[in-house]
Amino acid sequence: MYDLCLQILGWYTIIIAGTFGLIGACYTNCHSKVSFLQLTFWKRYVEKENEHFDAYTLEYASKLAERNLQSFFENKVPDPFRFPNHKAWEEISALYSFSRSEQYYSTLQRYVERADRDFAREKSPVMDLEHGNEMK
């Protein structure tokens, strides 16, 4: 009898949690700042941006690694290599939430479309991987 009561209590807990989850999802969708179609576009944009970002960073990292290996094995000063500055990385790494006042779909888009962005390049980006800090 005791086991049956615990089982019924467990099922009620699952049903109540599911009901509250469904109500919460419906409430957030109904009170969202964006329409369903705009939210769908936003999700697809972020997905494509991430795909392109991954492909681009893989290519860029390969070029940087090739440059560094060539410099090491040929024992010569490396060629200049354009690299985003630390502030730019911090700005595009921030968490983004949609705002009606500025309609961007990601922090990268917001950064790229800013008129006052900093194009200053870092001379030699070196990462201190042990402490997670950038050294200059």
Q: What are the domain boundaries of the chain?
A: 1-31, 34-121
Among 29-33, 58-62, 91-95, the range scoring the smallest mean pLDDT is 29-33
Question: Model's pTM, two decimal places?
Answer: 0.61
97 Rama class: left (phi>0) / alpha (psi -120 to 50) / beta: beta
Q: What band does 98 get if pLDDT is binned at 50, 70 and 90?
A: low
User: Quick check: 72 pLDDT over 80?
Assistant: yes
Burial 50-64 (b: 16+ CB within 10 A, else e): eeeeeeeeeeeeeee
Q: At a CB cut-off of 8 Å and minimum separation 6, what does 99 contact?
A: 33
Q: What band does 136 get if pLDDT is binned at 50, 70 and 90?
A: very low
